[in-house]
Amino acid sequence: MRKAPFIRIPYTGPLPSPELYPRNANTIPGAVAALAKFLTAPPSPTLQDGVADPQSTVVLSGAGISVASGLADYRGKNGTYRQNKAYRPIYYHEFTANHEARKRYWARSFLGWTNLHKAKPNAAHYAIKDLGDMGIVRSVVTQNVDSFHSTAHPNLPNLELHGYLRALVCISCHNELPRGVFQESLAKLNPAWAAFLEEMIQSGAIDTENPGERMSKGMRTNPDGDVDLPGAPYTTFRYPACPHCLVNPPVSADGTKTIVEVDGEGAWIPPSTAGILKPAVIMFGESIPSKVKDAAEHAIDGSGRLLVLGTSLATYSAWRLAKRAKERGMPIGILNLGGVRGEELFFQNMPIGQSGEAGVRVEFGTDRVLPKLVDQLRRTGFAKSPEQADISNVTAEQHTNSKIFKDMLS
Ligand SMILES: [Zn+2]
C-alpha cells in the first residue's frame, strides 16, 4: 500500500471566484487572443529542463467540457452539486460490500445509460482534435468517463484518469464486459423496468436535454449518467454475475474457492462471494491504479504547458496534476465557468503586462471558445509557421505516445 494513495474523493469546499488573466480576457475575442498567445509562445523560461516536447501543451479536462453534449456538470459556481442537491455519488466500498446499494446503482444507471449512450462529443472535443492535428496539443488527460475524447480524437493520446462507462469490469477476475451487452442483460432481467424505460423514451423524458423538462416528467439525471426516480422499488432490481466467474469461480487470496451463484435467469444472488461487475470507472473512494497515475504524470511531464478545460479540479487526483505542472514551471491556462480549487496558486508571480504566454484564466464555456481559437490559429497561419518541421515530428511522436499509454495501461 502506498503512503499516499491516489483516491478519488469529491471536494466540497467553497471555490473562490476567478481573477482573470490577462485582464482583457473577459470577452470571447479577448479570451481567444490570450489562449492563442498561451499555446504558441516559446517554452517558458521557468520550465524545468528535460521536457520531451517543451513547445507542446497537455490538456486536462473535466465535466464542463461535456455540458454542451447534454451531460450535466457536477458543480455550480459555488462548488455545490448543480443539478440535484440531494445527489450523492456511490462510494466504492458501498458498491462492493452491499447488494442493495448495487441494485439501486444499477437501476438508476439502467435508465440513465440510454441518454449517455446517445450523447456525442461537441465542438470543444473536435477543436482539441484540430489542436492535436496542428501539433499544439500533445496529449489529453480527462476526468470524464463518457469516452467523448477518444471518439472525437482517436489518434491523440488520451488518458482516462477516472476510467470509462463504456465497459464493466469484474471485481474478482478483472475481465471487462461491454456496457451494451450488460444493458441488454439488465433489460432481460428487469422487464418491468425495461417497460418503464421504454415509456420514458416515448414520453420524451429521456430524449430531452432540458433538465427542467426531464424533471417535470418525474426524472432527474446525474453526471455519472444515472437517473434518480423518487419512490422506485430499487430492491426488485436484478443484475447479472460476471460470465467468466460464473463458469470458473476464482480462488480467493486465502486459497479458498469463491462462490458465484445466480437465480434461474442469471441474476447474481447473495450467497455469492465473487463475480461482481462494476462500471470500469474509478468510483469515489476507490484508488486510481498506479499505472494510470504514472501515465497521467508522464503526460503532464512531457509537455511545456498545461491547459485546464471545464473542470473545477475538485478531485484531488486532478488537482494534484495541475499542482505538479506548476511545480515544474509550466504555464497554466484555465478555461472554466466558475472557480477552480486552489487556482490562486497557479497564477502566483504572474509577470505584469503578460498577454497570455505566462498564464491564462478565462471564464467561458469550452464549446464557445475552442472552435474560435482553432479558427484564429488557422487565420494567423500557425500551421504554416517555420515550426512546421517540428510539428511533423510531434505528430510522429504522438503515435509513439499512444503506444506508450497502451503499454502502461495494459
Ligand atoms: Zn469475473
- The predicted pLDDT at position 252 comes to 87
pTM greater than 0.85 = no
146 CA to centre of ligand 1 in angstroms? 23
248 CA to centre of ligand 1 in angstroms? 8
- The predicted pLDDT at position 409 comes to 36
Total residues belonging to the chain? 410
4 CA to centre of ligand 1 in angstroms? 29
- The predicted pLDDT at position 76 comes to 46
Residue 332 assigned as binding residue: no
29 CA to centre of ligand 1 in angstroms? 52
309 CA to centre of ligand 1 in angstroms? 36
229 CA to centre of ligand 1 in angstroms? 30
Residue 233: count other Cβ atoms within 10 Å of its Cβ: 11
Residue written as grid cell 455519472: 224
174 CA to centre of ligand 1 in angstroms? 6
249 CA to centre of ligand 1 in angstroms? 8
Determine how β-strand 176-178 pairs with β-strand 163-170: antiparallel
410 residues of the chain, pLDDT tens digit each: 444 566 666 656 667 778 999 999 999 999 999 999 999 999 999 999 999 999 999 999 999 999 888 776 554 444 444 444 555 678 999 999 999 999 999 998 898 888 788 889 999 999 999 999 999 999 999 999 999 999 999 999 999 999 999 999 999 999 999 999 999 999 999 998 898 888 878 877 766 656 666 666 666 666 555 666 656 678 889 999 999 999 999 998 889 999 999 999 999 999 999 999 999 999 989 999 999 999 999 999 999 999 999 999 988 899 999 999 999 999 999 999 999 999 999 999 899 899 999 999 999 999 999 999 999 999 988 764 344 444 444 443 333 333 333 333 32
Report which of 56, 66, 242 is spatially closest to residue 156, judged by C-alpha positions: 56
Active site positions, annotated:
162
Residues 6 or more apart from 379 whose CB is under 8 A from it?
A: none
Terminal C-alpha separation, the chain: 21
Element (H, E) at 306: strand 303-309
- Separation of alpha carbons 31 and 337, rounded Å: 13
Domain extent listing, the chain: 28-69+122-162+288-409, 92-119+165-281
Residue 213 assigned as binding residue: no
CATH superfamily assigned to domain 28-69+122-162+288-409: TPP-binding domain (3.40.50.1220)
User: Cβ(34)–Cβ(350) under 8 Å?
Assistant: no
Using the Cα atoms of residue 303, residue 337, residue 114 and residue 288 in order, give the sign of their dihedral. positive
Residue 25 assigned as binding residue: no
User: Cβ(17)–Cβ(286) under 8 Å?
Assistant: no
Residue 175 assigned as binding residue: no
90 CA to centre of ligand 1 in angstroms? 21
- Separation of alpha carbons 307 and 333, rounded Å: 5
Instruction: Return left, alpha or beta for 98; rule: phi > 0 is left, psi -120 to 50 is alpha, else beta.
Output: beta
Residues 6 or more apart from 38 whose CB is under 8 A from it?
A: 305, 307, 331, 333, 356, 357, 359, 360
The CA distances from residue 72 to 17, 128, 152, 391, in Å, are 21, 20, 19, 36
- Separation of alpha carbons 5 and 57, rounded Å: 27
- Separation of alpha carbons 238 and 225, rounded Å: 19
- The predicted pLDDT at position 8 comes to 67
Q: Which residues pair with 81 in a beta bridge?
A: 75
- Separation of alpha carbons 316 and 318, rounded Å: 5
User: Cβ(126)–Cβ(154) under 8 Å?
Assistant: no
